[in-house]
Amino acid sequence: MEFVILIFLFLFTVTLHEVAHGYVAFLFGDSTAREQGRLTLNPLRHIDFFWTLLLPFILIKMGLPAIGMAKPVPVDFSNLHRPKRDMIWVALAGPVSNILFAWLLALLFILSRQWFLLVAIYFNLGLAVFNLIPIPPLDGARVLTGLLPIRLAREYVKLERFGFLIILALVWLGFAWKVIVPLINLLCALLGVPGIRFE
């Protein structure tokens, strides 16, 4: 039963992340996600075979923290009221939603001490931190694109064609965890829950 609950929390986590992006985009003028039926907490509308299912499985088999994500919600940045500024808020919506959910889970963990809640906290914080890495097309890259001068932003987004290869290489080689895990533990300390420990 605990494992089933953990799977549910995992699916809710990645779904919440994407719905947050789509909802904030809608607030700032883009209804693409809403028109495509993606502003729903039904995880079946957001599951991606590789990012939601296969990648977490591979990472667990490697003995690494499981990171996964849902199918990205479609956002047409040209529909936003002020595209360059508003893309920052759209990008931040996903990680912020996961940090807030982790805070709620931390309160429940402190009250119940259930191990699966702690795992769910790690996953939410990991997803938030991972997505803030400034490599296109991750959320951190969207934030940086919105902050850069237009000329530099145009050059920067050209990296997106190689983005997933760079991300997979960093994850596979373990370099990403040298940054992600310490940040997860810092956030855990702020939430008052134990951090990740490797035996």
State how far the Cα of 133 lies from the Cα of 146, in Å rounded to an integer.
15
Burial 31-60 (b: 16+ CB within 10 A, else e): ebbeeeebbeeebebbbbeebbeebbeebe
Amino acid symbol at 59: L
List Cβ<8 Å contacts ≥24 apart for 113-119.
Answer: 114/2, 115/2, 116/2, 116/3, 116/5, 116/6, 116/9, 117/9, 118/193, 118/194, 119/6
Q: Tell which residue, 30, 26, 24, 50, has the closest CA to residue 143.
A: 24
Q: Tell which residue, 174, 164, 165, has the closest CA to residue 63.
A: 174
State how far the Cα of 197 lies from the Cα of 84, in Å rounded to an integer.
40
Catalytic residue among 2, 18, 155, 160: 18
Q: Indicate if 18 belongs to the active site.
A: yes
Distance of CA 195 to the CA centre of its chain: 19
Catalytic positions = 18
